[in-house]
Structure 1
Amino acid sequence: MEVSVDKRASSYAPRNLLNAEQLKDGIRQRSQGRDDEVPVQSWLLNHFYRHLVGNFEPARRIQTLEEAGVTLGTEALPNWVAGYFSATAKTPTETSSETLATLVWIDPLDPQLLHQEALLVEFLTSRKGTALEGKLDRITCPQALALWEKEHAQMSARVDQGWRQSSTEALTTTVTCAEHSWVELRPDSALLRAEMAFESYVMRHCLGQFANRRALTGGYGERYAEAVEQQGMRVFSLRDAQGQPHITVSLIIQGNGALTVEQVKGKQNRPPVERYFQDLLLFLNAIGTDQQTPADCIAIGIARTESGWLRIEDVSDPEAQTRLVARYPQLFYRLDAPSAMVEWLVAARQSDLLLEVSPQAPSVKYATRHIFKKTPWPPRQADDPRYQTEGVPWTDMSPALAEEIAAWQTRTR
């Protein structure tokens, strides 16, 4: 099979990455956790990593040496970073184009990154047994993404040819909600693959998209069918009274029997409709899962906490908030009432998030005042005790803020 992709869109742009090892370690750990085969893991650490470094658009651009230090927080700056900024200060004739390549930082847990990785793993795994299986290293990441999009467009065009009737014999009711029910696609049913094809037909995703629609074999559907049949995966569907699906959930069965949520899909691989969120939370808490939260759930604002699955806005326990934001900093803006500890954590690790949600703790407000570029208050007398903490003068603090901080500290003792 020849890969025909615009070469201008199949290369990797020259950029420098501030947290290269952190990003690569994240890819490696997730790949090992999924038990990806060696060729897939090698491709991810080569082509997918290079694609992220060169082409990933949510990358954060680093403009100064000081900003680089703040972004990495407690981590030591790589030795080459200081030299990079020294080089950028020179004239263009004194500096090579490679040295002047943009310096960026990429969130290793960015939902878009995780989503892109998941669909690429799906694509690479589905190549097993095809002419491309031994040629993965020759396919760049942009080419793989283009092939994935092309194949899914073709599947959408052929969807009318793959109609299958749903059968109650292939389903087991697991959780009953107010208006809907969660059913599991039975791994021991002779109609499992037909039910998967029906789920895909209605939902317009690739769970039951088989290469041979008559025999229900091959393609993306084969991967999922084998996983369910071999009891390595469980698949659930939220059905209405007419038997129509609205959400598809796949869970990985770990070696110790624990369940890890892999994907949560609405129609056309989009996030589920919000009116079904309560049914989703009821199901996830009833079925029992491990502590992992997939990118699909992060995207719709729900997460696994110590006390179960919750909407981010409903996480009020300070310790739970801290654990959540430490792992998924991008969720900070969704918390209704973040604790002071969470605000300090965000201020230390990713202070730019405070531009979206202003801190509530007065001490955090003061400590991060430079972020908002407000006009400083008139300087005060350094020996005035009202503007000192542990003997350190806060020369630009207003009387009102000094009183607010003092009152807040008294309330929280």
Structure 2
Amino acid sequence: MEVDTPARRPVYAARNALNAGQLKDGIVRRSLARGDDEPVRDWLCNHFYRHLVGNFEPVRQLLTLDDARTVLGAEPLPAWLLQRFDETGQGDDQGAAPLVWIDPGQPRVLALEARLVEFLSSRQGTALQGKLERINCPQALQLWEQEHARIQLRLGQGWRQSQPAALRPAVSCASHTLFELRPDSALLRAEMAFESYVMRHCLGQFANHQRLSGGYGQHYAEGVEHGRLRVFSLRDAQGQPHITISLIVRKDGALTVDQVKGKQNRPPVARYYQDLLQCLDALGTDDHSPDDCIAIGIVRTPSGWRLLEAVSDAADQTRLVARYPQLFRRLQAPKPMVQWLVAARQPELVAQGQGQGQVGAVSYATRHLSAQGAIDGHYSTEGIAWVGMSHELAAQIKAGQGRDS
């Protein structure tokens, strides 16, 4: 299943990451939690780590000592960092490699890692398995894309009928049924191949079409067969798939939504959203909202899965924005508590959203982020718009010419 590709270079660029140790620790922790084989973990700690430090975007550029203090918070400044800046806190070494800070938990990092784990796992049992260290991260990503392009060309070859014995009804909706692909069925892989043929994604794309083994299909099939993954298909009354859902099974039994794909790895069609919400609620997943769901405006709240437009409870909004600040601008009517929360953590988001039912006190608190002048065609002072006041009248008032005689 496909995810967005960050910009990349063919080699690892010279760049310093202030939180390089945190990045590597996160890679190791997630790899151990997944149970990756040691060669896969070693590759990630080498090539993926170097790709993050040198090539990954987006990053935060640290141009001054104040920038570094902001991202480090209460952590002490290392001696080498102090030597990098002059007495004014500006960069002192013009020839030094750029200094950046990378959010280790941002969705793009995790999505890129998932893509690479999929690629590395599909090498098992191939001639490339013992040569992984010769392949750098940009090359691996290029191979992944080339293979998925070939998958698209091969999709038109052959047809597999759906295997009802490999399906277990999970949720009944108004016009669709959510089926789970049974991990204990001898026809599991054949059903995965059917799902991929109709949906045009790599879930059931096996390197050997006759034996249904190898390739990306092997990676996903083993995940289902060994209980690490559960796969569901939302189908209509004629048995045609419309959405494929994969869930990660945690060690404690908790279920995390991994991917939610429409046809050709595109977002699901909007007319299926209500059935999708019903199914996700019935599956009893944890509070994680994957990128696939966020992209179409569907999120997990304490009250269940909801469309963003329907998240109106103050507590739900607060928890949601605390975890996904970028969603603040997509809330139709953010509550005052949410506005204050965002103003404290990412005030620029509040400044960009002025005029959207914003509390006056929040507007005043973030006034320094707003340019003086017009907001939505009205004159403003300290970020507060004066409806009906022209620039000419405002200029007269400033000049003392607008007083009553």
User: Where on the TM-score scale, by shorter chain, does this alignment land: which range?
Assistant: 0.7 to 0.9
2:177 to 178, 181, 201: 181
Say whether the 8 Å CA contact 2:363–2:383 is kept in structure 1.
Answer: no
- 1:35 maps to 35
Corresponding letter in the other structure for 1:372: S
Structure 1: runs of 5 or more not aligned: 1-7, 377-395, 401-413
1:198-242 residue CA offsets vs partner (Å, 9 max, x unmatched): 111111111100110011111111122222223332211111222
Query: Does the Cα contact within 8 Å between 1:109 and 1:328 map onto a contact in 2?
Result: no
Structure 1 position 143, deviation (Å) = 0.7
TM-score, normalised to structure 2's length? Answer: 0.81
CA pair 170-33 structure 1, distance change in 2 beyond 3 A: same
Q: Which residue of 1 aligns with 2:254?
A: 258
Distance 2:385 2:119 in 1: 61
Measured after TM superposition, the shift of residue 375 of structure 1 is: 6.1
Q: Name the amino acid aligned to 1:29.
A: R
Matched, 1:231 2:217: no
- Map 1:108-257; keep pairs closer than 5 Å: 108-257=104-253
Query: For residues 101-124 of structure 1, what are the alpha-carbon distances to aligned partners after superposition, in whole Å with 9 as ceiling and x for unaligned?
Result: 333333333333322221111111
Secondary structure at the aligned position of 1:338 is classed as coil
Q: Deviations over 1:343-392 (max 9, x none)?
A: 3332333333334423823232222211123269xxxxxxxxxxxxxxxx
- Which residue in 1 is equivalent to 2:402? none
- For residues 295-316 of structure 1, the C-alpha deviation after alignment (integer angstroms, 9 at most, x for no partner) is 3223333222222122233223
The one-letter code matched in structure 2 to 1:212 is N
Q: Quote how far apart the aligned CAs of 1:276 are.
A: 1.8
What CA distance in whole angstroms lies between the structure 2 residues aligned with 1:350 and 1:48? 29
Query: Could you give the per-residue CA deviations for residues 167-213 of structure 1, whole angstroms, max 9, x where no partner exists?
Result: 22222222122222211112232322111101111111111001100
Contact 2:231 2:245 in 1 (8 A): yes
Asked whether 1:370 is paired with 2:368, we answer yes
The residue number in structure 1 matching 2:52 is 52
Q: State how 1:69-84 maps to structure 2 within 5 Å.
A: 69-72=69-72, 77-84=77-84
**1:328 corresponds to 2:324:** yes
Structure 2: where are the runs of 5+ without partners? 1-7, 375-381, 387-405
Match of 1:354 among 344, 350, 356: 350
What SS does the aligned partner of 1:217 have?
coil
Could you tell me how far apart the structure 2 residues matched to 1:157 and 1:399 are?
56
User: CA separation in 2, counterparts of 1:239 and 1:317?
Assistant: 32
Report percent identity of matched pairs: 63
Superposed displacement of residue 67, structure 1: 4.0
Residues 201, 264 of structure 2: 8 Å contact kept: yes
| Residue aligning to 2:403 | none
Q: 1:162 to 1:72 in 2, by over 3 A?
A: farther
Q: Is the 8 A contact 1:72 1:349 kept in 2?
A: no
Q: Which moved more, 1:178-187 or 1:334-343?
A: 334-343
1:348/1:67 Cα in 2 relative to 1: closer, same or farther (>3 Å)?
farther
Letter matched to residue 161 of structure 1:
Q
Q: Is the 8 A contact 1:115 1:296 kept in 2?
A: no
- Distance, in Å, in 1 between the alignment partners of 2:328 and 2:252 is 32
Cα–Cα, structure 1 residues 59 and 270, in superposed 2: closer, same or farther, change >3 Å?
Answer: farther
Distance 1:235 1:344, change over 3 A: same
Aligned counterpart in structure 1 of residue 315 of structure 2, from 309, 314, 319? 319
What does the per-residue CA deviation read over 1:297-345, in whole Å, with 9 as the maximum and x for residues that have no partner? 2333322222212223322333332322222222222222223333333
Residue 331 and residue 73 in structure 1: after superposition, are their counterparts in 2 closer, same or farther (change >3 A)?
Answer: farther
For 1:78 and 1:346, the matched residues in 2 are separated by: 30
Deviations 1:88-111 (A, max 9, x none): 957xxx8453x1x33333333333
CA contact (8 A) 1:239 1:245 kept: yes
Q: Which has more helix, going by share of residues?
A: 1
Alpha-carbon deviations, 1:57-111, whole Å to 9, x = none?
3223344433444455555555544443439957xxx8453x1x33333333333
